[in-house]
Each structure stands twice: as structure tokens, then as C-alpha cells.
Amino acid sequence: MIRSMTGFGQAELRASQGNFRVEIKSTNHKFLEVSTRLPGHLAEFEKTIRRQVSQKIRRGKIQLFASCPDPSVFSSRLAVNEALAKEVFQKAVSVRKMLKLARVSDDALLREVMRYPDVLTKDTSQNRKSVYSHRLSGALDAALKDFDRSRAQEGAALLKDLKGRVAEIRKALGAVEKSIPRSARLFKKDLASRMKDFLRGEELDKERLTLEVAQYLKNSDISEEVTRLNSHLAGMERALKEEGELGRKIDFIAQEMTRETNTIGAKSSDAAITDAVIKIKSAIEKIREQAQNVE
């Protein structure tokens, strides 16, 4: 099934401590490029997040936003920043001595130290990993599933359009095949008329005419190109039924189709064939544009 490289997905898991929310959106890109916006306490999990994303997405420019409660809310155990507490205490004693203040009781100093920011914190070291693995990872997985549904829906629209372009090409190519015998007859008739004018009443050399027509048909024979173009069309139809990364494959087949179509246009001067070639090239160009949107 074809999947678009553009899409949007989101998920939110509710917990008593707060909600875990993830948003994913993507645009076209030749390779996979992931950029994240994470709160500071999730920065250490960025590699894990990228790994989880790359397991589900192959191509596209991905923007991922995640939010969740601060890990401190998952712990009730208090921890003392001993180094900071000692430094605050020593500085307080130094300032008292420098200002020659009356001796302050140890209890008063202790209260000041304990009030200082970050001296007393909740210990989250044992909970940080489990918070991510059980809650944030779950939210990310749900967002990726929503994102995949979005890409599949857009992919269905792309598939419909691509099939329509292939049908256009088949119809135009059928017109080319039907025009080949008529084109040869018209050329023979036109060449005979021009030779008669050139000879001005003299007898027409039918053998010479036959040789000229044969040379023209040899130089303008497009049967091989038509056969190869039909083969590429069959390859395109098979590719549209496949799974996996199809964008590059579709674009490659379209390039080969363009090459054969250009040769057909260069070899033939028939107006009907030229008109059909223009339609084929227009449809191929649309296919190549759409291939840029396919993963």
C-alpha cells in the first residue's frame, strides 16, 4: 500500500500525575530527517525516541513534539543536595564574619540553608526510566499509529491519482499504436505526390518510391519504443500494488517512460502521434510530481 510522506498524528495518555502528549507531522524529504522539541528532562531520551520513530518511518522530514509532567511528580522521596547545602552554609558563615554580625544560631542558619532553591529536591533517579518506557513510549507509539493512518489515507488518494495517470497513458499509447499504419500510408501518399510534382509529368519510379518509404519506415519505426513503454507501464502497475518504499521506484520507472516517449516524439512527425505524445508526457510529469510525495 502506498503511503504519503506528508501526515499528522497525535496521542495523549492521561495519568494521575499529568498527561503525556506527542505530536508528529511530516513533509516531503529525500531521506529520513527527524527534528524533536522536547522538555529538558526528556533530552536524555532523544536517541531512544529517534530510534522508535525510525522503526516506523522510512522517508520524510519529521517534526516531533512531546510533553509530559516533570519526573519529580513521580517520586515522594526527598533528597538533599549535600554539596550545595554545605556551600550555602559556608557562604552564610563567611558573610556573617565579613559583616561582623552577631552570632546567628545554628537553627537559623539551617532554616536559611533549607530554604535555598534546589537544596531539598525529590529523588527521581529511580523513576525517570520507567516514566519514559511506560508512559511516554506508549504515547509515542499511539501517535505513530495515528500518523500512519493519516499517511495511509493520503496514500490512497495518491494511488487513485497515479492509477488515473497510468490509464491516461495507456489510452494515449493505444492511439499511437493505431496511428502507426495510417501514418505510413499518409507518408507514402505525400511522398508520391511530391515526387510527381518534382518529376513534372514524367513517369513515377515506383521502385524508388518503395525504397524511400522503406527508408522512412526504418528511421521512424517506433514499435520498439512502444513495446518498451508498454512494458514500463506494466512495471508501474505492479509497483503500485507493492509494499514498502515506492517513491524512488515509481520515479525511476517514470524516468524510463519519459525516455521512450521522447524517442517516439522525435521519430514521428504524425500530428495524431505528436498529440498523443504530449498527453503521455504530461501524465508522466504528474506521476513524477506525485512520486515525490510517496514514501
* pLDDT, tens digit (0-9, with 9 covering 90-100), for 205-226: 667 666 666 666 665 678 888 9
* pLDDT, tens digit (0-9, with 9 covering 90-100), for 277-294: 999 999 999 999 999 889
pLDDT at position 220, please? 64
Q: Which H or E element spans position 7? A: strand 7-15
pLDDT at 23 over 90: yes
pLDDT at 52 over 70: yes
* Residue 30: band (very low, low, confident or very high) from pLDDT cuts 50, 70, 90: confident
pLDDT at position 128, please? 57
Mean pLDDT computed over 73-96: 73
Q: Hey, is 291 helix, strand or coil?
A: helix
pLDDT at 127 over 60: no
pLDDT at 204 over 60: no
Cell of 101: 554580625
pLDDT at position 24, please? 96
* Residue 259: band (very low, low, confident or very high) from pLDDT cuts 50, 70, 90: very high
pLDDT at position 188, please? 63
pLDDT at position 65, please? 94
Can you give the residue ranges of every domain in the chain?
7-72+126-153, 78-122, 154-291
Distances (CA, A) of 223 to 126, 191, 258, 259, 288: 73, 22, 16, 14, 25
* Residue 92: band (very low, low, confident or very high) from pLDDT cuts 50, 70, 90: confident
Q: Which CATH number is 7-72+126-153 given?
A: 3.30.230.10
Q: Rounded to whole angstroms, how far apart are CA atoms 192 and 47?
A: 76
pLDDT at position 218, please? 62
Instruction: Show Cβ contacts of residue 11 under 8 Å, excluding neighbours closer than 6 positions.
Output: 21, 22, 139, 140, 141, 142, 143, 145, 146
The mean pLDDT of the chain is: 82
* pLDDT, tens digit (0-9, with 9 covering 90-100), for 62-72: 999 998 876 65
* Residue 159: band (very low, low, confident or very high) from pLDDT cuts 50, 70, 90: very high
pLDDT at 146 over 70: yes
* Residue 125: band (very low, low, confident or very high) from pLDDT cuts 50, 70, 90: low
Instruction: Show Cβ contacts of residue 33 under 8 Å, excluding neighbours closer than 6 positions.
Output: 60, 61, 62
Q: What is the pTM of this model?
A: 0.66
Mean pLDDT computed over 137-145: 92
